[in-house]
Amino acid sequence: MKSQPGCAPNTVTYNSLMDGFSKAGKLDKSIELFHKMKEEGVCPNEITLNILVDGMCKQGRISSALEFFNAMKKEGLEGNAITYTAFISAFCNVNNINKALELFDEMISSDCAPDAKVYYALISGLCQARRLDDACSISEKMKSAGFHLDAVGYNILINGLCKTMKLDKVNELLKEMEGVGVQPDEVTYNTLISALSKSGHLSGADQVMKHMTANGIVPTAVTYGALIHGHCTAGDLNEAMKIFREMGTTSKVPPNTVIYNILIQSHCEKDDVESAISLMDEMQEKGVFPSIITYNTMFKGLRERNWLDKAFQLMDDMIKQACNPDYITMEILTEWLSAVGETERLRRFLQGEEVVCSL
């Protein structure tokens, strides 16, 4: 391109390349290109700024991003709602909600008009941090600014309110949705069913499921998972298994990994590790892949029984299936296997070697 007359790369060229490199995880390359464009006299614009700020924020380099933002301000590049969205999401993700709120205020006071996306980023962060009063007040501000919440926005708030047991407010929002013509969707119903199930209101959960079907929304594995989990929590494993068997046959919704995990956990907690093992065999026969959570749940159950040979077998399965241990696996196995003098096998496991044959 550079060798062609009249074809010199411009700001758009550089921006496209920089965004590509950032998204491919090569932020350094992207920053290098930024310096190169300046050397060549190609002017960075607001989009250049946002590409780099977003890239840095997503790599967890928030303070570098802030430094860069401030440096650009001095050169006359102000930043817009997109810039602030990147910062607000990043700070929410590291649980620094106050900094996110601070930036939101800074945006308003610097006469930068917020758009719907920046509101959503903040509302989601506040809900995640269980600051529901703040989340609701931001959503009110959003509405007074002329935006209306979509179903996803309502779902975020409803979920947060369910988790903090502000159920009056949940009803209020459901009525509001109806009033403004935003239809509850699958996630709305699943959220309600999950909340009711978890708090032991199983008949309420059933009712919501009837409403859901009546409104033409087909229950999915998530819906059944919420119900099954509720019955497990209530200690009624029989009913949970009944729903589990019916979902696959009557409703034709095949159980997935999460549902098997819920049931495996519940059986382990009832000290019925044998049934947990059969469930795990069953899932594999049906082509449902165990996840790291399946393995961790099994290891916890097996440890209670000090059932070492089965654990070694599962460790080998993990290696074969390329299912990587996480910090929870490490915690369980390190504690258990050191206590029984099997650290050599743990070492082999972490090296990705099979452990059963090394008896």
- Residues forming the site for DNA (CB under 7 A): 10-13, 15-16, 19, 45-48, 50-51, 54, 80-82, 85-86, 89, 115-118, 120-121, 124, 150-153, 155-156, 159, 185-188, 190-191, 194, 198, 221-223, 225-226, 229, 256-259, 261-262, 265, 291, 293-294
Burial class from Cβ neighbours inside 10 Å (0-12, 13-18, 19+) for residue 22 reads buried
Distance CA 302, CA 353 (A): 21
Query: Minimal distance in Å, beta carbon 148 to DNA?
Result: 11
Name residues whose C-beta falls within 8 Å of residue 139's C-beta, 6 or more positions apart in sequence: 119, 123, 149, 153, 157
Tell me whether residue 28 or residue 150 sits nearer to DNA (CB atom): 150
First to last CA, the chain: 62
Q: Which is nearer to DNA, 47 or 350 (CB)?
A: 47
- Give the Cα separation of 319 and 314 in Å (integer): 9
| Residue 125 Cβ vs DNA, minimum distance, rounded to whole Å | 8
Least distance in Å: CB of 112 to DNA? 11
> Helix, strand or coil for residue 301?
helix
Q: Quote the least distance from Cβ 285 to DNA, whole Å.
A: 18
Closer CB to DNA, residue 19 or residue 342?
Answer: 19
CB of 16 or CB of 95, closer to DNA:
16
Q: Give the dihedral of Cα atoms 160, 165, 169, 171; nearest 10 deg.
A: 100
Could you give the CA distance from residue 64 to residue 5 in angstroms, rounded to a whole number? 37
C-alpha distance from residue 190 to each of 121, 206, 259, 319, 353 (Å)? 22, 11, 14, 35, 41
Give the nearer residue to DNA in terms of CB position, either 258 or 355. Answer: 258
As measured in angstroms, the least distance from the Cβ of 165 to DNA is 14
Output 329 or 348, the one with its CB closest to DNA: 329
- Rounded to a whole number of angstroms, the minimum distance from the CB of residue 39 to DNA is 18
